[in-house]
Amino acid sequence: MGSESTDPVDKKPARDEPPHYHGHRERLRARFHDAGADALSDYELLEMALFAALPRRDTKPLAKALLKRFGSFAEVVHAPENLLREVDGIGEASITQLKLLAAAAGRIAKGEIKRSLALSSWNDVIAYCRSDMAFAEKEQFRILFLDKRNQLIADEVQQTGTVDHTPVYPREVIKRALELSATAVILVHNHPSGDPSPSQADIQMTKAIIGIASPLGISVHDHIIVGKNGHASLKGMRLNLACAPARLRAFTIR
């Protein structure tokens, strides 16, 4: 495991020996400003993101190593810190920089959701859920609470479980919806395995919540499952989600 503070290539070069990557950094910045982010590849964006953390190192090899290890820009910035530390050349400054990017992306996405009508911006809803949950190491069950205009009232993580399951309590879902005067909810959970396909437990839990919510005038607009390999919408899959008999037992989604 490498560290910025001990890596010899991070030492400041002699004044009469300008770093070989200096011109490359300037050209990359110019292309970013002139042509925009779309003109840069994932590894080039990562290079730039690491400039501030590694001011005296060539960040291209590190950016490529990160992408080789994790797969994409999004997966790099959302990767768990302990796994990032396994990449040679990564230290605390680099990890902080990457986690800042992840936090900024989540904050921006959440702000966009709050400013828009949730159901008229379905792609934004999906993007927000994936950016915040798709790369988590543990399963999370969260709820988006909506008002009668389908605007977001609250976004809350109700339960956090293990790598392959988390408990869900339908009674607590509806209790919280009533506390917030929500008229609709969107259920969301992640599959750390990467495969967003719903399990039978996921489907049964969704039916149970619909069965309790419906008589109270609360709509369950959808149950979205996200993973690093995509997402699944139970509504979009046209599953039979007709109201099940109201049962207040806990479910374990997988």
pLDDT tops 90 at residue 216: yes
Cβ neighbours around 242 below 10 Å, total? 9
Secondary structure class of 217 (helix, strand, coil): coil
Question: At 202, which helix (H) or strand (E)?
Answer: helix 200-213
Give me the pLDDT at residue 17, please. Answer: 54
CB 196 within 8 A of CB 230: yes
Give me the pLDDT at residue 108, please. Answer: 73
Tell me what the pLDDT averaged over the chain comes to: 80
pLDDT tops 50 at residue 6: no
Domain spans, the chain: 8-104, 121-253
Structure tokens at 152: 């977001």
Could you tell me which CATH class the domain 121-253 is placed in?
Answer: alpha beta
User: ∠ CA(142), CA(143), CA(148), 5° rounding?
Assistant: 170
Sign of the four-CA dihedral 106, 53, 37, 30: positive
Secondary structure class of 221 (helix, strand, coil): strand
pLDDT tops 50 at residue 239: yes
Give me the pLDDT at residue 19, please. Answer: 60
CB 158 within 8 A of CB 170: no
pLDDT tops 50 at residue 130: yes
How far apart, in Å, do the first and last CA atoms of the chain sit? 34
Give me the pLDDT at residue 33, please. Answer: 85
pLDDT in tens, 47-81: 998 998 888 888 999 999 999 998 888 889 888 88
Q: What is the largest CA-CA distance in the chain?
A: 78
Mean pLDDT on 181-204:
89
pLDDT tops 60 at residue 218: yes
Percent of the chain with pLDDT over 90: 27
Percent of the chain with pLDDT over 70: 78
